[in-house]
Amino acid sequence: MIALNNRFLTQLVATFVSSVAITSAAFAQDNPPPITPFAPIKINFRERPKVASDAMRLRRTPKIDGVLSEGEWDVFYTVTEGVLKGTVYCNWDDNFLYLAVKSQNPAGVVFDIDAGGDGWLRGADNLEIVVGAANETGKPTLAARLLDAANTKETPVWKEGALDVSRIQSAISNVGDSTIIEIAIPKDMGSLVLRTGATLGIRADFLPPTPASVFIPTAAYEPHLLLDAKLAESRAVAPAGVNPTLTISDNKCVGGQTLFGTMELLNQTDTNLPIKSILWTGTGASYDALNTVREVVVSDLGGRKSLKLKYKTPLPTNLPTGTYALNCTVEFEDGKQVISSATFSIVEPLQVQMYGQPDPVAIVEKTRYTAVVDVYSAVPRGTGFDVELTAIPVGWELEGNKKRKGQVDREDAKTGVRFVFRVPNTTLAGEYPIEATVTRQSRTWKTGFRAKVVRATTLPALPTAPILIKPPVASTSTPETPKRTENAGGATKTLPEPPPMKTDIPKP
Ligand SMILES: [Ca+2]
Ligand SMILES: [Ca+2]
């Protein structure tokens, strides 16, 4: 299972030997741990965790891979007392609430989340998610339940199975004695709303490294006291009397775009505050993405005055998609500092897809078929691009050039580039791959699809007269005799060379 630190285990057993949070019966369930059962841990949910927590939670998109990369997460709080110590991380974006822990010793974790921030024993929005030791596939074991306290006339109830555990993304890894756990909880789960300014209650408690099913929840009526977490786009700490606001020009950027930052400082005191320096920079993964600018000649922040500081940086064209943060530090002559950060995402400039019209296409005389390359652009003020067909079915004749230019006129808009083919009458039923590339500023996106071709080879059974199939108009012969007949019994009699035919046959 997990390599264990023996001294830690002994300490754990000695400390919690008298606690009764996990019964021995729980260990007798399927897949019993092959090691000595861990001593239970008594979590005092009635008491708020005695930690210094940072309520402002920045929008940031971590990767759920069991690795804590530099600049990936922001610390929520650190547990330095008790047997199980470690750090808790929390971030969010439009789609997920992200939680992570790094423990000092092998551990699992139980997260309590009050999605609406209205209190644990209020609403049907109280989630408990247990993340335990990995199963045989290497994924952590998960358990999730909802505390429903919506009906004030009845006592609260745990609803097991109310949360779809399969929608929670998770990863676990053990590095030395440490366990790293990362999870992503999708929006809407247990009324989870993810938007700037929303306040949630969150706590994380470390557990022994047992499977998640071993953890037994408290009685439903037990209060759980949580810590505030406020979802934010930017965050700042400042000396008393100084009110900083850091804004950036665009929350969803593309590589190559220019990003602007504005720091507005409002001095609510009467004292003139001389500024020593201003530092604009990115940390971690954002360091190479943003120009570092240090200014030392800055006007004072006068008493009862405000001051706007400006920054701009070109974003590298090859910047990987993900979340980045711009930091602005203002240092005053008296040594006090304003430290603030704001986050933004890098998104793909173009998204490309391809489809055919009509779909499927029925072969008729002089069949025309259109392949459409749809290009969706996130580039500010729009962009031009090149499209080139790279795979065309043999014999299909393209009207015009296989290379075209396209243009999307504004941000978050779409353009379709159309290619029209003349499909030979001899084309058999089947699927024909058509592929294209879209190029913008030395970056290329590949797209493609399979054109579906059908033929009217199966004739409907009609109880009346035989159906006459007209030969193509271009044919030199006249339709003096039916070339293809079908009788009331539905059996096809003769099928001489069917390809040039019309599809104006009545459908059954
Ligand atoms: Ca990660
Ligand atoms: Ca609640």
3-state secondary structure of 504: coil
Ligand nearest the Cα of residue 190 is 2
Task: Tell me whether residue 244 is in a domain.
Answer: yes
Residues present in the chain in total: 508
What CATH number should be reported for the domain holding residue 79? 2.60.40.1190
Task: Tell me whether residue 101 is in a domain.
Answer: yes
Position 24 confidence tier, pLDDT thresholds 50, 70, 90? very low
Ligand nearest the Cα of residue 99 is 1
Are 96 and 187 a contacting pair, CB within 8 Å? yes
Residues 23 and 126 occupy one common structural domain: yes
Query: Where does a domain end: 319, 346, 373?
Result: 346
pLDDT of residue 33: 46
Residues 365 and 338 occupy one common structural domain: no
Distance CA 393, CA 411 (A): 34
Distance CA 463, CA 447 (A): 47
pLDDT of residue 314: 96
List, as one string, the DSSP characters of 431-477: EEEEEEEEEETTEEEEEEEEEEEE---SPPP-SSSPPPPPPPTT-SS
Distance 237 CA to ligand 1 centre (A): 26
> How much is the mean pLDDT over the chain?
85
Distance 410 CA to ligand 2 centre (A): 42
Query: What are the tokens at 448?
Result: 């493609």
Q: How many CB atoms lie under 10 A from the CB of residue 434?
A: 23
Residues 273 and 148 occupy one common structural domain: no
Query: What are the tokens at 377?
Result: 């652009």
Q: Which residue has the higher pLDDT, 18 or 374?
A: 374
Query: Where does a domain end: 177, 198, 232?
Result: 232
Task: Tell me whether residue 148 is in a domain.
Answer: yes
Residues 419 and 467 occupy one common structural domain: no
Total domains in the chain come to: 4
Q: In this structure, which long-range contacts are made by residues 76-79, counting pairs with CB atoms below 8 Å and at least 24 apart in sequence? A: 76/202, 76/204, 76/227, 76/229, 77/49, 77/51, 77/52, 77/53, 77/227, 78/51, 79/49, 79/51, 79/206
Residues 220 and 239 occupy one common structural domain: no
Residues 239 and 147 occupy one common structural domain: no
In 261-340, alpha helices (H): none
Residues 145 and 271 occupy one common structural domain: no
pLDDT of residue 457: 57
Distance 117 CA to ligand 2 centre (A): 6
Peptide bond into 360 cis (omega under 30): yes
Residues 197 and 158 occupy one common structural domain: yes
Residues 90 and 105 occupy one common structural domain: yes
What CATH number should be reported for the domain holding residue 397? 2.60.40.10
Residues 191 and 51 occupy one common structural domain: yes
- The reported pTM is 0.68
Write out the residue range of the structural domain in which residue 187 sits.
6-232
Query: Where does a domain end: 167, 198, 232?
Result: 232
Distance CA 439, CA 390 (A): 12
Does residue 384 have a pLDDT over 80? yes
- In this prediction, residues 84-93 reach a mean pLDDT of 96
Distance 438 CA to ligand 1 centre (A): 31
Residues 252 and 183 occupy one common structural domain: no
Residues 387 and 440 occupy one common structural domain: yes
Ligand nearest the Cα of residue 146 is 2
Task: Tell me whether residue 215 is in a domain.
Answer: yes
Share of the chain above pLDDT 90, in %: 71
Ligand nearest the Cα of residue 70 is 1
Distance CA 443, CA 247 (A): 30
Task: Tell me whether residue 1 is in a domain.
Answer: no
Ligand nearest the Cα of residue 180 is 1
Q: Which of 301-310, 372-381, 486-495 has the lowest mean pLDDT?
A: 486-495
Task: Tell me whether residue 277 is in a domain.
Answer: yes
What CATH number should be reported for the domain holding residue 278? 2.60.40.3880
